[in-house]
Chain A
Amino acid sequence: MGITVSLGAVLAIVFVALIGGSTPGLQYVFGVFLPYVAFAVFLVGFAYRVINWGRSPVPFRIPTTAGQEYSLPWIKQAKIDNPSTLWGVLIRMALEILVFRSLFRNTKAELRSGHIVFGPAKWLWLGALAFHWSFLIIAIRHVRLFVEPIPAVVQALDTVDGMLQIGAPALYITDLLLVASVTFLFVRRVVIPRMRYISLPADYFPLLLIFAIATTGILMRYFIRVDIVGVKTILVGLSTFHPTIPEGIGAIFFVHITLVAVLMAYFPFSKLMHMGGVFLSPTRNLINNSRMKRHVNPWNYPVKVHTYEAYENEFREQMKEAGIPVERE
């Protein structure tokens, strides 16, 4: 059901954008109005979600310790997996965010003739890494369509990405990687029974949406060519707040930009917010120095306790008989 609904939604978006992109009167709506609204929703929504998380305090210091604690001087500490300094945490977080450290640990448990055996399971890590990095690089590459002159960094990235020099225009490595990895992430959800069991429409939809974004982008670049100068005019117009739509831009462009707009607008309301959340996760971004430095809970409040006095009052006689010292005879 989740797959059908998600696929239906993505196809509907494509269909509507196709109509809009082919109708001169509607091109402005799909090429200017929607992207602006979507971008605003993305920025405001993202910021709102992060601030909203930030408004809830971190009452306790609860890092997941993934290695040896800071201990006696002759015991080797796992300084990154169990950080006792800010530096350790920064490196731990960098590894989590840039190379998915925790996911790299992944294993696969199987039952073989009554024994649980553990095998390596690096495919998810690899697929996720390929997906996120290629998506990021593609997004950065797109900067050249929004600004003039093109920054040297973007130009360099473009050159590296196209270094295979296959075909003209040159094939990008990241295009291949993105399509391959998003397909992998989708297929594993469908094929692996356990994954299918836990997957919701909210899991299929972003994958299908991104797949559609990638394919329309590739179609536009290699197969259904659009007027690239006209496209750049539109995008520079958007980024400089002088929006304009030149004549003769193919509908495929409007499909592509609409899909991206939907992704941006959908982002803050979805699980895609893990992009912001990963930075704030208290089990990863805290220093494990709970016994060295007191962590203060802003909403700590006094609680009802059973005092020693109450205890002795109840047990005084037997304590005396048992030869246990008491405060009051």
Chain B
Amino acid sequence: MAKESTPKEMQRIDYNPPTKGWMDTPVNIKPGMYCYPAKPEKIEDVGMPNPHKWSVTDEDWHLPADWKETFLEGMRDRLQKHRSFKIFMDICVRCGACADKCHFFLGTGDPKNMPVVRAELLRSVYRGEFTKAGRILGRLAGGRKLTPEVIKELWYYFFQCTECRRCSLFCPYGIDTAEITIIGRELLNLLGLNINWIQEPVSNCYRIGNHLGLQPRTYKENIEFLLDDIETYVGIRINPTFNRKGAEILFATPSGDVFADPGIYTLMGYLMLFEHIGLDYTWSTYCSETGNFGFFTSLEMAKRLNYKIYAEAKRLGVKWILGGECGHMWRVIHQYMDTFNGPADFLEEPVSPITGTKFENAKSTKMVHITEFTADLIRHGKLKLDKSRNDHLRVTFHDSCNPSRAMGLLEEPRYVIKSVCNHFYEMPENTIREQTFCCGSGAGLNASENMELRLRGGFPRANAVRHVHEKYGVNTLACVCAIDRAALPALMNYWVPGVTVAGVTELVANALIMEGEGPRTKNLRGEDIPGREEAGNV
């Protein structure tokens, strides 16, 4: 287990696979590398199929009687529905370009974590069960039959993939393991084989409105606690509105920002930023979650959760939607939302009420990313900033997988950070922007029981942070993702002690010179800002 192994031990990884072929190596499920099964009642809550009690370490996973037909029928159905899936099953040439691109492979050395093999796990079933050559020649054609043992293997490895798409970037045909994992997980979900770290948030989000199951009162109270903190450290009382009809903008963000450290500091940042510019906006308790854990179970569930964003925007009669800092939320919003639940013809094309800038790139979804919005504000000189308040920070930026490889949001957050911080350093080029490394906990894998997997999966990212930490004294890792904010602190504590994780808007708010503010001697975390303990308001 990770708790007992030191970083030195953990980074002894062998990238050479065994000589024995992967088809002849039965799956070896190790503790610390998987998450607990979904509780049947959490599956029932949302009416997903085959809820049942099972345990990962048991021989028998109590698959439903017709498990094989269900799985293969599901596969056949998806081959007909997704051109991507069909092509990706057919055209891989196993060139190996993706092999050392995966953070889980680099962190574990497990050869089945090479993206090509992860896909082959399912591809071999496709060949063995669906293609003539595979049915006749079997192993010779790279085919194998679907057995309960294979199901276990698929489960183990599709929940060791964070759908980060780094491998897809290097593939000569653009084969996207994320797409294969998404569909692989859908198939496993048909058999009731999800993990609880995903299923419970899905159930909570569906009925209560957010992953953490914060009921409307709690949600509002949590934000009010943060308003108290802002009053303490900034000297200003902010009064945001909830579920207010007629507001110009609906602001939606992942609930991790409302609840967990360090996400809450980012949320304080939103509150201060919007106050500073006098934005006419509202929060919503019904649509209090934009992160979409449904996306990690099935596309249908993703759609069911995503529905609330447009529904609430319509009910409240807002003009457009502003979205907070979150990774896979933005993948869903950017690549799926309009298709799932559009067209949003009841909204207007987003225009910044402060600068008049039209957000051309969001004219159909009508949903703008907070860093696009903030970058535009800064560009037009609409924010009063004191960069020197962040002078004790030496900042680097972690591109989250989804904004970078499923959207292309690279410059906006950097522009914002550089505008509010004097000391910014990039990590090595093979580890940032479109080549960025996942935190190792995405796609619903940021549980505690799989800590070793997370630490290993996060090793390549941490390794790059360690590089700039040693070289430039970087002490702050900025990001625009709630899962990153939840996952990276543990990773930093283990691999690179002395690096704090912060949201971009938190850094903005610390530099904001607010109307009527008191002496800014503390940052939003209540920590003294070095050199300002006595200085008062500069």
Contacts and interface: CB of A to CB of B under 8 A. Distances in A.
B15 A194 contact: yes
Interface string A156-197: 000000000000000000000000000000000000111101
Nearest to A82: B408
B81 A194 contact: no
Contacts of B365: 290-291
Interface in B273-301: 285-286, 299-300
Contacts, number: 305
Nearest to B17: A197
B300 A303 contact: yes
Contact of A68 (B307, B342, B408): B408
Nearest to A64: B168
Interface stretch (A12-20, A226-234, A311-319): A311-319
A290 B174 CA distance: 18
Contact of B406 (A65, A81, A118, A200): A65
Contacts of A102: 97, 169-174
A225 interface: no
Contacts of B404: 65
A274 B100 contact: no
B430 interface: yes
DSSP majority for the A interface? loop
A60 B335 contact: yes
A223 interface: no
A108 B100 contact: yes
A33 B364 CA distance: 57
Contacts of A297: 339-340
Interface stretch (B86-94, B381-389, B438-446, B499-507): B86-94
A98 B263 CA distance: 45
Given A72-B379, A124-B95, A197-B17, A62 B220 contact: no
Interface residues of A, number: 97
Interface string B410-435: 11100100000000000010110111
Contacts of B434: 65-67, 81
Contacts of A194: 15-17, 96, 99-100, 111, 114
Contacts of A274: 91-93, 172-173
Contacts of A103: 95, 97, 170, 172
Interface stretch (A211-219, A244-252, A255-263, A278-286): A278-286
Contacts of A62: 84, 176, 179, 335, 406
A71 interface: yes
A308 interface: yes
Given A194-B96, A292-B362, A69 B409 contact: yes
Interface residues of B, number: 119
A152 interface: no
B198 interface: no
B22 A197 contact: yes
A273 B10 CA distance: 41
Nearest to B314: A308
Nearest to B433: A67
B56 interface: no
A133 to B, nearest CB: 14
Nearest to B168: A64
Interface string B1-24: 000000110010101111101100
Contacts of A76: 411
Contact of A109 (B18, B100, B433): B100
A193 B100 CA distance: 13
Interface string A71-96: 11011101001101000000000001
Contacts of B82: 56-59
Interface of A: 5, 49, 52-62, 64-72, 74-76, 78, 81-82, 84, 96, 100, 102-103, 105-111, 114-116, 118, 124, 128, 192-195, 197-203, 269, 271, 273-274, 277-278, 280-284, 288-297, 299-300, 303-308, 311-312, 314-315, 318-319, 321-325
6 closest residue pairs by CB, A with B: A69-B408, A277-B91, A283-B174, A65-B408, A284-B174, A118-B430
14 contacts: A64-B168, A69-B410, A192-B96, A197-B22, A197-B111, A271-B94, A274-B92, A278-B172, A283-B168, A290-B335, A292-B360, A303-B304, A304-B47, A324-B216
